[in-house]
A and B are shown apart, each in its own frame.
Chain A
Amino acid sequence: MIDPNNTFLDTLKKWQRGATAVAVLGAVLCGLAAATSLEQFLRSYLVAFLFWWAVTLGCLGILMLYYLVGGRWGVAIKPLLECGTATVPLLAGLFLPVAFGIQHLYPWAGPSYEDRPSRQVESRSISEETSKVHSTTRSETRHEFRRFATPRVLATFAAPSSDPKSLYLNPAFFYGRALGYFVIWILLALSLRPRKSDVPTDRPRWRRLVSAGGLVALVLTVTFAAIDWAMSLDPQWYSAIYGAVVAIGGVLAALAFVTLSFAALFWRGRAVSTTNLSPALGDLGSLMLAFLMLWAYFAFSQFLIIWSGNLPEENVWYVYRLEGGWQWLGLAIVGLQFFVPFFALLSRELKQNPRTLAAIAALVFVMQYFFFVWTLVPSFHPRQLLIHWADIVVPVTMGGLWARIFIGLLRRNIPQIVAMNQ
């Protein structure tokens, strides 16, 4: 009989070496990207950072959810969630390039945002544009979704120089808020970190209390952070459900990542009979299906409401993302991020088999990154599909670094994982 602990440790060592190699090689390519075009590098970096940030806080959120509700699924993956949560301080470090690069990333922080000459030209031709819109006659049933949304119309909604939004969107307040968010997240991660005295299946009362308050704090801070770091790429645009879409996307990606690691670990380790794991794997698959549907519901609600209202200051966000090639990425997300995993996760056979569940989880994880790309990159390249090679290299590098630390923490937890799932 092989000792399961050793088989797992060997597997993890191999993975850790792989992650280190990816991080080092990627760092060289990232340096190259930054040297070629600092602006492009910072944009790719922002997308990558936001994705891994959402994954990390997703782990924290799921861990708190487990402390509140309990269940077989949580017992199985709790050590993995704890390792994911422990990377929150790393995120604070990874935020620094974004903090230093805000004037390259955010229009509200850029130089002479208030008096770009193009804006004055845009404002003048606005009356002509609106008259066109109102000429829509009754017989013309075509939805004038596109005509509204031109940069010229958008410019009217961009506030004049005494922009009240600058009370919120200014560098000093931006840094202050970011500091506050990280303090809250690090405190939450610290208060939930595993202790030697823990009984593995126990959910102590004080942790449940921390989780109850922590979930509220997490949802609020993630919503505001999503507004600050992602939504403010289009300072004129707003959507109330935006933070929820980002938060649930993060939870979905985190759950997919943890499920993938869990299934792959036991499938590669071969130390524990997988028939014992079927119920836990099935639960994880069902939970992933639930979060997949919640994510789709949030993401679609935002689209449906804006499409129905058809107000120019709102719908422009979708026009930027549904023209010039971006619509194909959007369609791929609808198919590969929703329909394929949705139907696959209905089947009990696929959910309970570690190999197929790992494949579904990997698809959900990768497509959630592309959902972040589709959400963020068109703000830099409206109506023009443009995925730079750095958009792939930077997140993979950051993932290598993140995974290296994650696996390092996991190696210490292996006996616990094996004991809980035997």
Chain B
Amino acid sequence: MTAPTSLYGLLAEFADPEELVEATQQVHQAGYRRIDAFSPMPIEGLAEAMNFRRTKIPLVILIGGIVGGIAGYVLQYWVAVIAYPVNIGGRPLHSWPAFIPVTFEVTILFGAIAGVLGMLALNGLPRPHHPLFGVPAFSHASRDRFFLCIEASDEKFVEQETRELLHRTGAKEVFDVPR
């Protein structure tokens, strides 16, 4: 870790998506892992170039769903058996077949809510500011330019070497991203 503390990372600008994918592959092959790519539209092959790892979202949704299923069933049990034990047409208080649809729906509801909240949490959102916004040219990331950022916290990050690598990959320009 030789990174100077004043730097968040280095941001390279590219003119077209193929260059970005190629540069990402090279940077990944060079051993950098704390990298991120920015583009105004989805690019085929970019996630693979970054060796995008599987997220924890499915697990979060599964846990949300299981919690929802148990909660939905327990709520109905508590209402029908403990809180308001009403005899409806001679059916048992614990009428489990009638509880299944609601249990299923609460499972889906909790799974979906866990998915949305988990996605926000794992992405570190909501987040009002990001160091990348300190680079004025970065606003083009949502219009007509493609960017690749190597964070200073990467183990392989050495400012001069990394800057040279990014130039070699064909970057139009390399910006310092202030912390």
- A and B: bona fide binding partners: yes
- Closest Cβ neighbor of A343 among chain B residues: B62
Taking the closest CB of chain A, its distance from the CB of B21, in whole angstroms, is 20
Known: A300-B100, A304-B98. A144 touches B90 (CB 8 A): yes
Task: Give 4 A-B pairs besides A136-B90, A140-B90, A141-B87 with Cβ atoms closer than 8 angstroms.
Answer: A143-B90, A304-B101, A308-B97, A310-B91
Specify which chain A residues have a CB less than 8 angstroms from the CB of B101 in the assembled complex. 304
Tell me the B77-103 residues at the A interface (CB within 8 Å). 87, 89-93, 95, 97-98, 100-101
- Once the chains are docked, how many angstroms separate the CA of A308 from the CA of B101? 13
- List which A177-221 residues lie within 8 A (CB) of chain B: none
Q: Is the CB of B97 within 8 A of A304?
A: yes
In the complex, what residues of B have CB within 8 A of residue A308's CB?
Answer: 97-98
Contacts of A224 in B (CB 8 A): none
B90 to chain A, nearest CB (A): 5
Nearest residue (CB) in A for B95 is: A143
- Looking across the interface, which residue of chain B has its beta carbon closest to that of A136? B90
Q: Whole-angstrom distance between the alpha carbons of A107 and B100 in the complex? A: 35
Contact A310 B89 (CB under 8 A): yes
Contact B97 A303 (CB under 8 A): yes
Q: Which residues of B contact A300 (CB under 8 A)?
A: 97, 100
Residues on the A chain within 8 Å of B89, using CB: 310
Residue count of chain B within 8 Å CB distance of chain A: 13
> Is A138's CB under 8 angstroms from B97's CB?
no
Q: Which of A138, A142, A303 contacts B92 (CB 8 A)?
A: A142
Which 5 pairs of residues, A with B, have the shortest CB-CB distance? A143-B91, A143-B92, A307-B97, A304-B97, A141-B87
Interface membership of chain B positions 120-144, coded 1 if the CB is closer than 8 angstroms to chain A and 0 otherwise: 0000000000000000000000000
B48-84 contacts to A (CB < 8 Å):
58, 62
Q: Which residues of B contact A307 (CB under 8 A)?
A: 97
Using a Cβ cutoff of 8 Å, how many contacts connect chains A and B?
A: 30
| A138 partner, pick from B62, B87, B91, B98, beta carbons under 8 A | B87
8 Å CB contact of A142 from B62, B90, B98, B100: B90
Q: Which residues of A contact B87 (CB under 8 A)?
A: 138, 141
Q: CB within 8 Å of A: which of B5-49?
A: none
Give CA–CA (A310, B90) in the complex, Å. 10
14 examples of A-B residue contacts, CB within 8 angstroms: A138-B87, A140-B90, A141-B87, A141-B92, A141-B93, A143-B90, A143-B95, A300-B100, A304-B97, A304-B100, A304-B101, A307-B97, A308-B97, A346-B62
Give A320 Cβ to nearest chain B Cβ, in Å: 18
Residues of A within 8 A of B62 (CB): 346
Q: Measured between C-beta atoms, what is the minimum distance from A415 to chain B in Å? A: 30
CA distance A112 to B92 in the complex (A): 41
A residues within 8 A CB of B98? 304, 308
- B101 — nearest CB in chain A belongs to which residue? A304
Closest residue of chain A to B62, judged by CB?
A346
User: Nearest CB to that of A145 among chain B residues?
Assistant: B91
- Which B residue sits closest to A347, measured CB to CB? B58
Closest to A304 in B: B97
Contact B100 A141 (CB under 8 A): no
Closest B residue to A141 by CB, please name it.
B87
Q: Which residues from 292 to 331 on chain A have a C-beta closer than 8 Å to any C-beta of chain B?
A: 300, 303-304, 307-308, 310
Which residues of B lie under 8 Å from residue A304 when comparing CB positions? 97-98, 100-101
Looking at the assembled complex, report how far the CB atom of A225 sits from the nearest CB atom of chain B, in whole angstroms: 29
| Complex: A310 Cα to B91 Cα, angstroms | 9
For A346, the chain B residues whose CB sits under 8 A away are 58, 62
Query: What is the CB-to-nearest-CB distance from B23 to chain A, in angstroms, rounded to a whole number?
Result: 26
Q: Which residues of B contact A140 (CB under 8 A)?
A: 90
Report the separation of the CA atoms of residues A295 and B87 in the bound assembly, to the nearest whole angstrom: 32
Question: Of all chain A residues, which has the CB nearest B65?
Answer: A346
> Nearest-CB distance from A150 to chain B (Å)?
17
| Complex Cα–Cα for A142 and B95 (A) | 10
User: With a CB–CB cut-off of 8 A, which chain B residues contact A303?
Assistant: 97
Residue of A nearest to B87 (CB): A141
* Shortest Cβ gap from B112 to chain A (Å): 15
A331-352 residues at the B interface, CB under 8 angstroms: 346, 348
Residues of B within 8 A of A138 (CB): 87
Per-residue A-contact encoding for B97-122, CB less than 8 Å = 1, 0 else: 11011000000000000000000000
In the complex, which residues of chain B have a beta carbon less than 8 angstroms from the beta carbon of A310? 89, 91
Residue of A with least CB distance to B88: A141
**Taking CB as reference atom, which chain B residue is nearest A303?**
B97
Residue interface bits A162-174, CB-to-B below 8 A is 1, else 0: 0000000000000
Give min CB distance, B12 to chain A, whole Å: 32
Least Cβ–Cβ distance between B120 and chain A, in angstroms: 23
Question: Residue on B with the closest CB to A293?
Answer: B104
Bound-complex Cα distance A164 to B89 (A)? 32
Given the complex of chains A and B, what is the CA–CA distance between A248 and B90 in angstroms? Answer: 34
Min CB gap B78→A, angstroms? 17
Q: Which residues of B contact A143 (CB under 8 A)?
A: 90-92, 95
Write out the residue numbers on chain B whose beta carbons fall within 8 Å of the beta carbon of A136: 90
Taken together as a complex, chains A and B put the C-alpha atoms of A310 and B97 apart, in Å, by: 12
> Could you tell me the distance in whole angstroms from the C-beta of A159 to the nearest C-beta in chain B?
27
Alpha-carbon distance A141/B98, docked complex (angstroms): 16
Distance, CA A135 to CA B97, complexed state (A): 25
B97 / chain A contacts, CB cutoff of 8 Å: 300, 303-304, 307-308
Residue of A nearest to B93 (CB): A141
Bound CA span A141–B95, Å = 11
Q: In the complex, what's the smallest C-beta–C-beta distance from A22 to chain B, in angstroms?
A: 39
Complex interface: chain B residues within 8 A of A141 (CB): 87, 90-93
